[in-house]
């Protein structure tokens, strides 16, 4: 349950940039939330949104199986902004007509603004021209009753629209992307001008409301926190501890899938630099047994997730009357685990889709609404040291999802040795803090090589380094060639069993950051 008085609800129709809409709104210190377009009208109404955004999407509104939201949302008396597909859906549902365009618009386009109020308040005197980003093959041919055009483009006579009596606005372009130079201005005008929001969603206010929420939920009960040493679980522990103090017990589980020296450094940090009560459990053998012979990535994630829960429940029974489990689920985890339009989720996150239905502990997920950079901001607001906040993300399933195929002690040893070299070189070169994530992946193939005068047939290791803001989208890092060369040379020379190193230059989408 969220304690936000003002919120913008975004209904997602499948656009790759829907998450960017949420981020751009939050950057204005206004809370936003993404829900699938199938959200029931009564549930939407109960959320009491201050405004509603209809996202873009790949479908055409006139298709038989087009994603359609409940038209009753236009009767809620709430301002609505339609973007691209969302604009076309709004116009069609309110009585207009959308057809396949003779000339499509993809990429940069020039917007001709004819009405400098509403979404375009503060712009130059009309007519004025601005670069925007278009991505559509359909266009609005006939406006719905009450709507008038506020901007045009080369191939869109209705590139932006407004209703003359109701707070409904629509744009054919994407204001959320950086290529739309007036995008932030357009969103600000919707958020503050049409919706009347106040910029009061800050990490300070988030702490106050979340601490109150945790106290109200837990009362005098006891809480376990799954502590991995990563940013998410560390900030979760700090926030829950601020709310309930000694009622919190943290559990660090060494699942045998950690990096070299990771367990020792994590425990040392929390025992020396925090007031948290931490229990450590060595369960490496248990997890390796569970993963023996398993190659399917979804099955690996779920077995790791189940293993954690089994241990947490055993510890809860030892402590007596523990009802709650706190964990660092983030908003991207939730979004990627949702089934959209009947399709499978991107992946089962160990703390979202990887938990067994029979789990006895009730979850507390105070970061569930936040993106990663917001979590870091929250950690600093809580007074946590930078060394804990600016660590690169490390997945809950650990090296288990960085080994393609079966996880064995031998293959873990190869990956650990390689991973140490990657991290050392990234830090020594000053690139560690410049990128979002950098790591090694052990592939399930072997290739021919030559070492000395002999033929080798050994493992291939992939390097992965990406730039991102929130893990929802990412681009591969343009690391210097000499840095890549040093990493490759050291791994091949220092790690027995590897004779080839490759660099992953895939962006997200279509690839994910982790390989499994």
Whether residue 161 contacts residue 108, with contact meaning beta carbons closer than 8 Å, is answered with: no
| pLDDT confidence bin for 498, thresholds 50/70/90 | very high
Catalytic site residue 174?
A: yes
> Comparing C-alpha atoms, which of 255, 253, 223 is closest to residue 236?
223
Residue 513 DSSP class: S
Burial class (CB in 10 A: 0-12, 13-18, 19+), 478: exposed
User: What pLDDT, in 10s, does the model give residues 453-485?
Assistant: 667 788 999 999 999 877 777 899 999 999 999
Active-site pick, 176, 336, 425, 514: 176
Whether residue 495 contacts residue 502, with contact meaning beta carbons closer than 8 Å, is answered with: no
> Comparing C-alpha atoms, which of 231, 241, 290, 291 is closest to residue 266?
231
Helices (H), 109-198: 183-188
Which residue would you say has higher pLDDT here, 98 or 4? 98
> Comparing C-alpha atoms, which of 175, 174, 140 is closest to residue 155?
140
Which two structure tokens, joined as six digits, stand for 166? 């109701």
The whole-angstrom separation of Cα 425 and Cα 463 is 12
Say yes or no to pLDDT of 5 above 80. Answer: no
Catalytic site residue 176?
A: yes
User: What pLDDT, in 10s, does the model give residues 41-81?
Assistant: 999 999 999 999 999 988 888 888 889 999 999 999 999 99
Q: What is the pLDDT of residue 2?
A: 45
Active-site pick, 4, 84, 336, 516: 84
Q: What is the pLDDT of residue 319?
A: 83
Helices (H) and strands (E) in the chain, counts: 14, 18
User: What pLDDT, in 10s, does the model give residues 391-423?
Assistant: 888 887 889 999 999 999 999 999 999 999 999
What is the number of other CB atoms lying within 10 angstroms of the CB of residue 444? Answer: 12
Q: What is the pLDDT of residue 357?
A: 54
Which two structure tokens, joined as six digits, stand for 43? 């549930």
Catalytic site residue 514?
A: no
The whole-angstrom separation of Cα 160 and Cα 143 is 11
What is the number of other CB atoms lying within 10 angstroms of the CB of residue 430? Answer: 9
> Comparing C-alpha atoms, which of 142, 155, 148 is closest to residue 111?
155
């Amino acid at each position: 349950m969220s304690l936000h008085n003002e919120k913008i609800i975004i209904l997602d129709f499948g656009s790759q940039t829907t998450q960017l809409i949420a981020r751009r709104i939050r950057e204005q210190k206004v809370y936003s939330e993404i829900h699938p377009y199938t959200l029931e009208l009564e549930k939407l109404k109960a959320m009491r949104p201050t405004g509603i955004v209809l996202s873009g999407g790949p479908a055409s509104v006139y298709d038989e199986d087009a994603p359609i939201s409940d038209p009753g949302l236009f009767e809620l008396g709430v301002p609505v902004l339609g973007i691209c597909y969302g604009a076309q859906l709004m116009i069609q549902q309110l009585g207009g007509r959308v057809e396949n365009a003779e000339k499509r618009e993809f990429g940069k386009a020039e917007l001709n603004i004819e009405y400098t109020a509403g979404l375009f308040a503060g712009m130059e005197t009309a007519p004025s021209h601005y670069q925007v980003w278009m991505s559509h093959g359909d266009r609005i041919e006939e406006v719905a009753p009450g709507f008038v055009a506020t901007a045009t483009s080369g191939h869109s006579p209705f590139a932006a629209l407004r209703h003359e009596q109701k707070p409904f606005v629509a744009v054919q372009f994407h204001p959320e992307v950086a290529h739309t130079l007036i995008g932030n201005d357009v969103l600000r005008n919707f958020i503050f001008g049409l919706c009347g929001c106040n910029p009061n969603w800050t990490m300070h206010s988030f702490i106050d409301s979340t601490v109150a929420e945790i106290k109200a939920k837990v009362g005098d009960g006891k809480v376990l926190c799954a502590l991995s040493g990563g940013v998410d679980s560390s900030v979760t522990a700090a926030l829950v501890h601020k709310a309930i103090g000694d009622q919190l017990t943290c559990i660090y589980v060494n699942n045998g899938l950690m990096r070299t020296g990771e367990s020792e450094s994590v425990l040392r940090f929390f025992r020396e630099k925090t007031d948290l009560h931490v229990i450590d459990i060595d369960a490496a053998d248990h997890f390796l047994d569970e993963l023996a012979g398993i190659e399917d990535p979804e099955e690996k994630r779920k077995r790791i997730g189940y293993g954690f829960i089994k241990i947490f429940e055993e510890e809860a029974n030892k402590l007596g009357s523990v009802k709650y489990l706190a964990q660092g689920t983030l908003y991207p985890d939730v979004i990627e685990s949702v089934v959209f339009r009947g399709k499978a989720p991107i992946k089962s996150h160990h703390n979202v889709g990887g938990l067994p239905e029979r789990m006895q502990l009730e979850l507390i997920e105070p970061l569930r609404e936040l993106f990663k950079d917001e979590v870091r901001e929250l950690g600093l607001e809580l007074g946590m040291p930078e060394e804990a906040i600016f660590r690169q993300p490390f997945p809950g399933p650990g090296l288990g999802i960085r080994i393609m195929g079966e996880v064995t002690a031998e293959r873990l040893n190869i990956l650990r040795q390689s991973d140490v070299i990657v991290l050392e070189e990234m830090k020594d070169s000053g690139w560690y803090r410049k990128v979002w994530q950098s790591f090694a992946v052990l592939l399930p193939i072997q290739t021919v090589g030559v070492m000395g005068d002999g033929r080798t047939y050994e493992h291939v290791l992939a390097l992965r380094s990406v730039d991102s803001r929130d893990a929802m989208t990412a681009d591969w890092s343009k690391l210097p060639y000499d840095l890549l060369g040093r990493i490759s040379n050291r791994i091949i020379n220092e790690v027995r069993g590897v004779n080839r190193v490759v660099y992953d230059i895939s962006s997200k989408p279509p690839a994910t950051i982790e390989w499994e």
